[in-house]
Structure 1
Amino acid sequence: MIVCIAEKPSVARDIAEVLGAKTRKDGYIEGNGYQVTWTFGHLCGLLEPHEYAPEWKAWALSHLPMIPQRFGIKVMNDSGIQKQFHVIETLMASADEVVNCGDAGQEGELIQRWVMQKALCKCPVKRLWISSLTEEAIREGFSKLKDQSQFQSLYEAGLSRAIGDWLLGMNATRLYTLKYGKNRQVLSIGRVQTPTLALIVNRQLEIENFKPEAYWELKTVYRDTIFSASKGRFSSVEEGTNFLETVRTADFFVTDITTKKGTESAPRLFDLTSLQVECNKKFAYSADETLKIIQSLYEKKVTTYPRVDTTYLSDDIYPKIPDILKGIKDYELLTKPLLAGKLPKTKKVFDNAKVTDHHAIIPTGVHPTALTDTEKKVFDLVARRFIANFYPECKISTTTVLGEVEKVEFKVNGKQILDPGWRVVFAKIKNDGDEQEEEDEKTLPLFEKGESGPHEPTLAEKWTSPPKPYTEATLLRAMETAGKLVDNDELRDALKENGIGRPSTRAAIIETLFKRDYIRKEKKNLIATTTGVELIQIIQEDLLKSAELTGLWEKKLRQVEKGEYLAKDFLAELKAMVTEIVFNVKSDNRRPGDAALHPAKPSLEGTPCPLCGKGTLLKGNTAYGCSEWKTGCTYRQAF
């Protein structure tokens, strides 16, 4: 008998259907030589501290660091889990072969391996590795089962991550709570959670300490077009006024016109992070909400495996593209022109070198039915981006017009879309149902070199703006690149190696910060609470709160997954780091009540508003607000 273990009951039903197993039993489905069973979540986990050493049950600085000689696992203490584990254990005892059908990723590999280890599985084990749950994908996967040994480094990376999180979380949380928690508050520390919180706190402190500075901009309107002075900003009103008076009475001359033609590529296919970013921007969905929605679409067989960090497809997907396009029938008006000719195959979409375990998130070609409103929105994003990548590039013309008034230079840039190409896929829908291309670029009137005429110059006072608070979208990008916010896709790809957390876990990290009351949400903005700010100020160890240093540890975990770095070396370094942190904190002579630990915040009342620069801050019941709120200033800063 061949025993298949899926990651959850719904997936087990899909697999059993394809394998011809139809007889339902208690905890598994049987038939045609197969028994298909399932896990749900983490059936097994690492032992608790006191299960290694009874004295570790008590929280005491003298017991730290807690570093077990050998880590062990246990079946979780839950009646439903214990019952399902017993079913799996019984089936494995008489199995001729086991097929690991777990989630095709690091965490899924770890969950299933732990269950098989605890159930003392002794028969040969194969691995099902698929990127979608369609019948075709499952059949193809079972025809190409791989040996479990091929995924040993993936398992070792998952195990190293779990042990690393245990070592740092258990020791640092007890250490900081005992040393600084004043016997009333657990200070939760995590390997990824704490540097993520530090990103938010540091940005918040930048905003709070920001001092706005005035500057002046000289612009002029010529032929209904706004030209800006090439000199840029003036640091004093006197300097700006001198230039204004110089240009006020003379005519405006067009001195040069340059036009460059170019192309713009369609936005990249989605990985999980970019999908979460887009959904947060467009629909204000949290990272966790988006993950749940795209996971549901995967389980409904309409999109591919979601927990991915690549935006590319492998070459073997190319022959399947026409059938996928035919399958998404609701987009027939957009797909029909593509299917009429040969589909392009470019390195911007297909690159085997950029694909490891899974490819980018795309539709499967299964026609979506019975989707919720939120699922329809997310599927639409995935489908349109997929379709757009097979359309021609958008052809554009960029024009720069230079002008001069009394030797003061001005310029303006404009862009014209010559051929929309892929942009038609993202056309807006007008109220009457007609499609309308999204107008997001400034087009210029036709100028001629040497022309001149009257103009209307103005000098406007402006104020420098503070950095913007993180939203979930910008925080996800910062986690992906270890705090370095970049817009360039190629550079972002290079920085992903050192990102903190994994695409599949970042949403959970953010949710943990909410649950522990370290952050809260104001509209879309993520704001650190007093507790969150104080925790980061207490922590002196950069190893605990630096996104960059944590990113280096993440890079090593990725190297373990690729077989380029030994798990035992990673864990040895981590144990040494934990030992050093414990020593440093134990040696800290600061006391919980010290001002250095909890510095008093100076009152902001009466200081200039950092948002508009015109008003002053007023103190309310829970927050400072700007005195210019009646004229529209929205600045608000909680105590």
Structure 2
Amino acid sequence: MRLYIAEKPSMAAEIAKCLPGPVGRKDGYINTGGGIVTWGYGHILRQAEPDEYDPKYERWRVEDLPIIPQSWKLFVADSCKKQFEIITNLIDQATEIVHAGDPDREGQLLIDEVLDYVNNQKPVRRILLNALDEQSIKKAIGNLRDNQEFYNLKQSALARSRADWLIGMNLSRAYTLAAQQAGHRTTLPVGRVKTPTLALVVRREREIEGFKQADYFTVKADFQHEDTVFTAYWKPREDQPGLDTEGRLADKAIAQALLEALQAAVEPATVVLCETTEKKEPQRLPLSLSTLQVMAGKKFGYDPQAVLDTAQKLYERKLTTYPRSDCEYLPESQQDDAVRILGNLGGLAHQELAAWSGKAEPAIRSRAWNDKKITAHHAIIPTVERCNFAALTETERNIYFLIAQSYIAQFYPVHVYDQTRAELEHAGERFTANGRIIKELGWKEVYGADAEEKKEDDSGMLPSMTKGDQIEFMRASAEKKSTKAPSRFTAATLLAAMKEIHKYVKNPDFKKQLKDVSGIGTEATRATIIKELTERGFLREETKKKYLKPTEPAYLLVDMLPDEITYPDFTALWENILNQMAEGNANLDTFLGQQARFAAGLCTKAKGATIPLKGDYHCPRCRKGVLQLRNGKHGKFWGCSRYPACRASFDDKNDKPDMPPGRQQGQG
């Protein structure tokens, strides 16, 4: 008997529909002529809590840290005990098992860990379901793979899960205890990805608070050649006085003198360089979850979690492929579906998608079709199922639009243009002009203005020029501009920052190394992390644009933690190692050993963390804690928050510690 174990009931139901023979639903599984299909509910097994390793860990104590399990334990989640028994009994009856978890790191682990937990020795195959339409499922059933091929993916997921436990359990305890000793009655959750993400927002807010506006001047001039007037921008010399640290002209008097000198010159300007290069811009790649979330945030103002939830609904309706994908490429064999998918899109009740589809050329092969870039999943695209566009909600229509738009663009030609760069000299000063002539609009016809990135020094259309040509100077101007504070993060831009984390690392040597890393967190967890930080009161959304601002606990947490956990350097490097592990190029035990040593080192640092005291009465004995009102055997008394390290205590007198007046320093 072949047993399919799906990640969730909805996926199990779709698999069962595509198996031969009569279908009969039972308690916890489905009978078919092609085998039995059962399901989990996400992670059926949970990691053990510290006190389940040793009861002494139920109480949080500094002396017990770090907690490093010698042998990792899992327990069946209370809500899944009945289903776990059903799965176990079915495994006993099976002759072959088909792992039908989601085609990603976590999906691989949550079925594998059940099979390992029951010590399964039966052969296991793997089905990769990137779409839930009938054609895709039947094709996947016919192309089962040996589950052992995905062993490294499971190891990577185990490494992520256990590393998160080591960092979260140990550092949350260490720094919560340190904060409580300074009088803060709070719990501070520390996470391998969560904390550096929160720190991005805290640092951005401080940049904004400390920002001082400065004025600068952009000098430009209009020139004429062969009846064409164009604009060129002044290029300061290296030794030019009056420049700020960013190379901008900040001195108004120098700007005015420069304008007067340009206007007074009688000689025409001279072209000292003019070169034209044909450039080709390939089609924008189809969408991963992160790119979809960022794009939907910019275009429609949707938060990342709403985008993920909507993409999941479209997937479950069989309209789009697997949503939690970090891949922007497509398998080459899938191009065979292009005619059918484009035909369906051409019949949509959406004017733009229908028009674009009608002009698409299915034979065009963009760079997206690349088997070497495909792992367990591929980019998010429409399926071969026909979409009833009018039946979708507004949010579903908008997300489907973005997915379909990116797919259609693959079947338009590359964008071709001539890029011209010219340098002019006038009155001893250099000016640069950049312009482009579009030769073939190509895929940008689908994206229109959304595809264009207007640059400040773009001069528009340029006349035909050659080196040595004399150009007529017409006028010059100096436009006063002001520097702007950096923008606050929104959920969408914070998610983009997590994906492009190399821009925010502290160590400049890491920037290049981490540029190819897929950021911190995963496609499936980034939105959840941002949502959790908001729900737990570390971030709050403000204004209609939903800008994220840190709260007082966020400042406390980030300020007391060392750079190793608040900057993304180490986390990003660890993500790189996890990716290497998935490819078989890193070792689980070695990685966890590094994580254990890291956690131990930061637990030690927590003991000496500098934390502002919070309380009306600072302890006069240790001067590192605050006095807190407590209940003892003989009534109320005041004791130091650092007990037992400091055993100072004072009687209560009218709800105040009974201390000599000279010893009540730190009050307030």
Return the TM-score normalized by structure 2. Answer: 0.80
Are the equivalent residues in 1 in contact too, given 2:296–2:302 (CA < 8 A)? yes
Measured in 1, the distance between the counterparts of 2:462 and 2:113 equals: 68
Residue in structure 2 matched with residue 325 of structure 1 by the alignment: 342
Are the equivalent residues in 1 in contact too, given 2:342–2:408 (CA < 8 A)? yes
The alignment status of 1:545 with 2:551, answered yes or no, reads no
Are the equivalent residues in 2 in contact too, given 1:254–1:402 (CA < 8 A)? no
Displacement of 1:597 in angstroms is: 11
Which of 554, 565, 568 is the matching residue for 1:532? 554
Pairing 1:422-461 to 2, within 5 Å after superposition: 422-427=443-448, 443-444=460-461, 446=463, 449-452=469-472, 454-455=474-475, 457-461=476-480
Measured in 1, the distance between the counterparts of 2:165 and 2:62 equals: 17
Measured in 1, the distance between the counterparts of 2:100 and 2:569 equals: 35
Are the equivalent residues in 1 in contact too, given 2:40–2:83 (CA < 8 A)? yes
Cα gap change, 1:284/1:589 in structure 2, threshold over 3 Å: closer, same or farther?
closer
Cα gap change, 1:411/1:178 in structure 2, threshold over 3 Å: closer, same or farther?
same
Cα gap change, 1:272/1:253 in structure 2, threshold over 3 Å: closer, same or farther?
farther
Pairing 1:276-425 to 2, within 5 Å after superposition: 276-329=293-346, 330=348, 331-339=353-361, 343-346=363-366, 348-369=367-388, 370-400=391-421, 405-425=426-446
Q: Highest CA radius of gyration, 1 or 2?
A: 2
Measured in 2, the distance between the counterparts of 1:153 and 1:282 equals: 38
Residue in structure 1 matched with residue 658 of structure 2 by the alignment: none
Displacement of 1:18 in angstroms is: 0.4
Are the equivalent residues in 2 in contact too, given 1:280–1:473 (CA < 8 A)? yes
Residue in structure 2 matched with residue 82 of structure 1 by the alignment: 81
Give CA deviations for 1:564-588 in whole Å, capped at 9, x if unaligned. Answer: 1111111111112112221222245
Give the aligned residue type for 1:267. R
Measured in 1, the distance between the counterparts of 2:546 and 2:464 equals: 42
Residue in structure 1 matched with residue 27 of structure 2 by the alignment: 26
The alignment status of 1:248 with 2:268, answered yes or no, reads no
Residue in structure 1 matched with residue 654 of structure 2 by the alignment: none
Residue in structure 2 matched with residue 637 of structure 1 by the alignment: none
Cα gap change, 1:61/1:453 in structure 2, threshold over 3 Å: closer, same or farther?
closer
Give the aligned residue type for 2:24. T
Which of 504, 516, 533 is the matching residue for 2:524? 504
Measured in 2, the distance between the counterparts of 1:262 and 1:210 equals: 39
Cα gap change, 1:141/1:255 in structure 2, threshold over 3 Å: closer, same or farther?
same
Residue in structure 2 matched with residue 516 of structure 1 by the alignment: 536
RMSD over aligned Cα atoms? 3.1
SS in 2 for 1:297: helix
SS in 2 for 1:416: strand
Residue in structure 1 matched with residue 36 of structure 2 by the alignment: 35
Cα gap change, 1:58/1:344 in structure 2, threshold over 3 Å: closer, same or farther?
same
Measured in 2, the distance between the counterparts of 1:378 and 1:144 equals: 30
SS in 1 for 2:488: coil
Which of 271, 274, 291 is the matching residue for 1:274? 291
Which of 282, 305, 311 is the matching residue for 1:265? 282
Displacement of 1:283 in angstroms is: 1.0
Measured in 2, the distance between the counterparts of 1:392 and 1:421 equals: 5
Residue in structure 2 matched with residue 238 of structure 1 by the alignment: 253
Give the aligned residue type for 2:494. L
The alignment status of 1:175 with 2:192, answered yes or no, reads no
Displacement of 1:539 in angstroms is: 0.5
The alignment status of 1:129 with 2:124, answered yes or no, reads no
Are the equivalent residues in 1 in contact too, given 2:100–2:126 (CA < 8 A)? yes
Residue in structure 2 matched with residue 564 of structure 1 by the alignment: 585
Give CA deviations for 1:62-109 in whole Å, capped at 9, x if unaligned. Answer: 22111222111112123xx33332332332332232221111111112
Cα gap change, 1:428/1:250 in structure 2, threshold over 3 Å: closer, same or farther?
closer
Residue in structure 2 matched with residue 624 of structure 1 by the alignment: none
Are the equivalent residues in 1 in contact too, given 2:265–2:427 (CA < 8 A)? yes
Residue in structure 2 matched with residue 477 of structure 1 by the alignment: 496
Cα gap change, 1:155/1:451 in structure 2, threshold over 3 Å: closer, same or farther?
closer
Measured in 1, the distance between the counterparts of 2:125 and 2:439 equals: 54
Give the aligned residue type for 1:532. A
Measured in 1, the distance between the counterparts of 2:610 and 2:284 equals: 53
Measured in 2, the distance between the counterparts of 1:215 and 1:57 equals: 60
Cα gap change, 1:445/1:127 in structure 2, threshold over 3 Å: closer, same or farther?
closer
Measured in 2, the distance between the counterparts of 1:503 and 1:157 equals: 15
Displacement of 1:345 in angstroms is: 2.8
Give CA deviations for 1:281-311 in whole Å, capped at 9, x if unaligned. Answer: 1111111111112222222222222222222
Measured in 1, the distance between the counterparts of 2:499 and 2:611 equals: 35
SS in 2 for 1:316: helix
Measured in 2, the distance between the counterparts of 1:7 and 1:494 equals: 32
Structure 1, 215-224 or 552-561: larger mean CA deviation: 215-224
Measured in 1, the distance between the counterparts of 2:137 and 2:168 equals: 38
Displacement of 1:236 in angstroms is: 1.4
Cα gap change, 1:439/1:140 in structure 2, threshold over 3 Å: closer, same or farther?
closer
Displacement of 1:110 in angstroms is: 1.6
SS in 1 for 2:576: helix
Are the equivalent residues in 2 in contact too, given 1:14–1:133 (CA < 8 A)? yes
Pairing 1:120-199 to 2, within 5 Å after superposition: 121-181=120-180, 182=183, 184-199=185-200
Displacement of 1:536 in angstroms is: 0.6
**Structure 2 portions without partners, runs of 5+:** 237-246, 506-510, 626-668
SS in 2 for 1:235: coil
Measured in 2, the distance between the counterparts of 1:183 and 1:237 equals: 51
Give the aligned residue type for 1:574. Q
Displacement of 1:418 in angstroms is: 2.9
Measured in 2, the distance between the counterparts of 1:535 and 1:493 equals: 28
Are the equivalent residues in 2 in contact too, given 1:251–1:405 (CA < 8 A)? no
Displacement of 1:255 in angstroms is: 3.1
Cα gap change, 1:351/1:438 in structure 2, threshold over 3 Å: closer, same or farther?
closer
Structure 1, 119-128 or 512-521: larger mean CA deviation: 119-128
Give the aligned residue type for 2:85. H
Displacement of 1:428 in angstroms is: 7.7
Aligned residues: 580
Measured in 2, the distance between the counterparts of 1:93 and 1:495 equals: 47
Give the aligned residue type for 2:461. L
Cα gap change, 1:421/1:580 in structure 2, threshold over 3 Å: closer, same or farther?
same
Displacement of 1:479 in angstroms is: 1.7
Measured in 1, the distance between the counterparts of 2:278 and 2:594 equals: 53
Displacement of 1:543 in angstroms is: 2.6
Structure 1, 34-43 or 459-468: larger mean CA deviation: 459-468
Measured in 1, the distance between the counterparts of 2:513 and 2:309 equals: 25
Cα gap change, 1:11/1:286 in structure 2, threshold over 3 Å: closer, same or farther?
same
Measured in 2, the distance between the counterparts of 1:220 and 1:48 equals: 69
Give the aligned residue type for 2:145. K
Percent identity over paired residues: 34
Give the aligned residue type for 1:568. D
